[in-house]
Chains A and B, each alone.
Chain A
Amino acid sequence: MAQFSDKKLEEVKNIIARYPDGKQKSALLPVLHLAQQEFGGWLSSEAMDYVASLLNIEPIEVYEVATFYSMYNLKPVGKYLFEVCQTGPCMISGSDNIVAYIYEKLGIKPGQTTADGMFTLKTVECLGACGYAPMMQLGKYYKEHLTKEKVDAIIEECRRNAVVNN
């Protein structure tokens, strides 16, 4: 059963306090981010129903929002999600090569996850890092000016972190 810790529930309360009385639905996007972070990197229908109950709105109001925005994952993803930008400015700076190199290294195409559940590759549209292309989002941060060597280093770093965190 999806359930926030008391600390996270406090955070939800603080988010709701940003809006005028009765407008707690405004908290939906931030609380969905929180839920995705807390419940394994994706939003199950159980997690979405829980968010609906917290904000006192109908589950359908959550589903229609969760399916609209590209940052909410509606299926499980790997521990590390590589979101490689492929729009114009990144494309002319070689993003295709980065996607191909990740396939070469990890054997995953966009939308796929490695068998060990460690990495998921996703191609995304413009992330606002056009001057630092090619790039990917990894968790909260951007990895920019990507080269094959940098991709190697990122994969290594993820593997190291996974060992440390286990």
Chain B
Amino acid sequence: MGVKLLLEKAHVENIRLYDVYRREGGYRSVEKALKTLSPDQVTEEVKKSGLRGRGGAGFPAGMKWSFLAKPEGVPRYLVCNADESEPGTFKDRYLMEFIPHLLIEGLIVSSYALGSSRTYIYIRGEYAWIVDILEQAIAEAKNNGWLGKNILGTGFDCEIYVQRGAGAYICGEETALLESLEGKRGNPRIKPPFPAVKGLYGCPTVVNNVETLAAVVPIINMGGEEYAKIGVGRSTGTKLISACGNINKPGVYEIDMTISVEEFIYSDEYCGGIRNGKRLKACIPGGSSVPILPANLLLKTAKGETRYMNYESLSDGGFATGSMMGSGGFIVLDEDQCVVKNTYTLARFYRHESCGQCSPCREGTGWMEKILLSIENGKGKMSDIDLLWDIQRKIEGNTICPLGDAAAWPVAAAIRHFRDEFEWHVLNPDKCLTENYGLRHYADPIHVPVA
């Protein structure tokens, strides 16, 4: 069993309730931070912890906090990004649903560090029932003196509000989220200015992911230096991975980033192997926008070294032969899955979710969707594969926000690693409607006994 810092208590009966959570040691970090540390010292601990943003980009959280502008007399805001919408990702939902007080606790400590007395949780609109869970936790925290005016007699005031979105992937992008929170369309803003200088209502703002803010609790409890000892290299602490697709045990797992990808997929402690005794074909290890990898490049790097479940190892080889940790949305495809069809559904997703501001993304995502559908339906031409490559290349890097890149990367990686499967669809227009291309040379090089 690896170290558990976030979900250790998630299965304690009634941990959703304040009394149980408190009895299990909850809210200690608030006492420690507010009574013994200054706001800057809290930020310093987060810096020392090496905690990287858990939403997908992996930017050091303490550094992000230290960029927050602090002009005199201007309110500052902390906004929790709970818009979790990256296909394959459902970890924040799990955390909020089962151990909501952990997030509230992390938010209070973080709000203290950043000087936010009005903190918002922006949650995706579809998680409607989780809004009730969070609001109940907030009410309990407030009734017990952890929120409101003059918390613990320290003079620090803080309120937390839950804001429900209404169905828009783009609102997970921090500036689009702020626009949405201001009651507007979720159109990303041009940066700079960054939210740390001009964010919500034009005031300095920090936007952090749910898991990032929850991780502040163990960081304060154990100290940043101790937290940094868990994990490996610049992948410190623990990471929540939401595993799905053709595996025996889909679900949310907390890992300490020292385990191999092979262990994560095949051990009974995690995914429990491929469902129905099938073989592994491919995997998207960090949410739909990161490059898909064939089995042989997933379990071992191009150099033949074991690949591990951490930021550095998953990106070993760059986009040529590696992928990314991303949001931790781990999607596993077995030998019966069609990479062309899977890529088509993702392209359709990005077309649907493009906000429409930038032409390369607005137009390009639509073209990619149409071309992929025609190849999938046996109506593609060989030149379409090159055309797809060309379109994705013209989207990447040419848009205001990273949704353009997120739409381009899955298409690029699918063609990079599975070009022969695309060609097979073109060459076998009838067969591809009834059969799948199968494993071929992407085969998993490791012999795995079927249980």
Q: What does the 1/0 interface line of A78-107 toward B look like (CB < 8 Å)?
A: 000000001111011100000000000000
Contact B166–A126 (Cβ < 8 Å): no
The bracket for how many chain A residues form the interface is: 35 or more
User: Whose C-beta in chain A lies nearest to the C-beta of B77?
Assistant: A20
- Using Cβ atoms and an 8 Å threshold, which residues of chain B touch A127? 126
Q: Contact at A130–B329, with CB atoms within 8 Å?
A: yes
Query: How near does chain B come to A62, taking the closest CB pair, in angstroms?
Result: 9
- B70 at interface by CB-CB < 8 Å: no
- Tally the A-B contacts, defined by beta carbons under 8 Å: 143
Name the one of B75, B85, B352, B353 contacting A20, with C-beta atoms under 8 angstroms: B75
Tell me the bound Cα distance from A37 to B85 in angstroms.
23
Task: Name the CB-closest residue of A to B181.
Answer: A26
A26-B246 contact given A68-B168, A69-B165, A128-B85, CB 8 Å threshold: no
Q: Which residue of B lies closest to A139 (CB)?
A: B128
Q: Tell which of B46-54, B86-94, B425-433 binds the partner.
A: B86-94
Tell me if B345 counts as interface (CB < 8 A to partner A).
yes
Q: Is the CB of B244 within 8 A of A130?
A: yes
In the complex, which residue of chain A has the Cβ closest to the Cβ of B246? A92
- Cα separation A151 to B331 with both chains bound (whole Å): 25
Tell which of B85, B166, B183, B245 has the most Cβ of chain A within 10 Å: B183
Instruction: Enumerate chain B residues within 8 angstroms of A86, measured Cβ to Cβ.
Output: 345
Residue tally, chain B, CB below 8 Å to A: 55
- Chain A residue contacts of B67, Cβ below 8 A: none
Contact status A91-B163, CB under 8 Å: no
Q: Does B169 contact A (CB under 8 A)?
A: yes
Q: Which of A18, A125, A140 is in CB contact (< 8 Å) with B169?
A: A125
Contacts of A61 in B (CB 8 A): 183-184
The answer, yes or no, to whether B115 is at the interface (CB within 8 Å) is: no
Known: A25-B182, A26-B181. A92 touches B337 (CB 8 A): yes
User: In the assembled complex, which residues on chain B have CB atoms less than 8 Å from the CB atom of A137?
Assistant: 126
Q: Write out the residue numbers on chain A whose beta carbons fall within 8 Å of the beta carbon of B242.
A: 130-131
Which A residues touch B149, using CB under 8 A?
none
1/0 per residue, CB under 8 A from B, across A135-146: the answer is 001001100000
Q: Per a CB cutoff under 8 Å, which of B129, B201, B349 touches A125?
A: B349
Distance to closest chain B CB from A21 (angstroms): 11
Roughly how many angstroms separate A128 CA and B91 CA in the complex, as a whole number? 9
Chain B residues near A (Cβ < 8 Å): 75, 84-90, 93, 118, 124-129, 161, 163-169, 180-186, 201, 242-246, 250-252, 284, 288, 329, 331, 333, 337, 341-342, 345-346, 348-349, 352-353, 355
15 new A-B contacts, CB < 8 A, other than A29-B164, A64-B184, A125-B349, are A33-B164, A57-B183, A65-B183, A69-B167, A71-B167, A89-B331, A92-B245, A126-B86, A126-B87, A128-B90, A129-B93, A130-B331, A131-B242, A133-B244, A140-B129
Q: What are 27 A-B interface contacts by the 8 Å CB criterion?
A: A25-B184, A28-B183, A30-B164, A32-B166, A33-B125, A33-B164, A61-B184, A68-B168, A69-B125, A70-B166, A71-B166, A87-B345, A88-B88, A89-B244, A89-B331, A91-B345, A92-B246, A93-B244, A124-B167, A125-B169, A126-B88, A126-B169, A128-B126, A130-B89, A130-B244, A133-B244, A141-B128
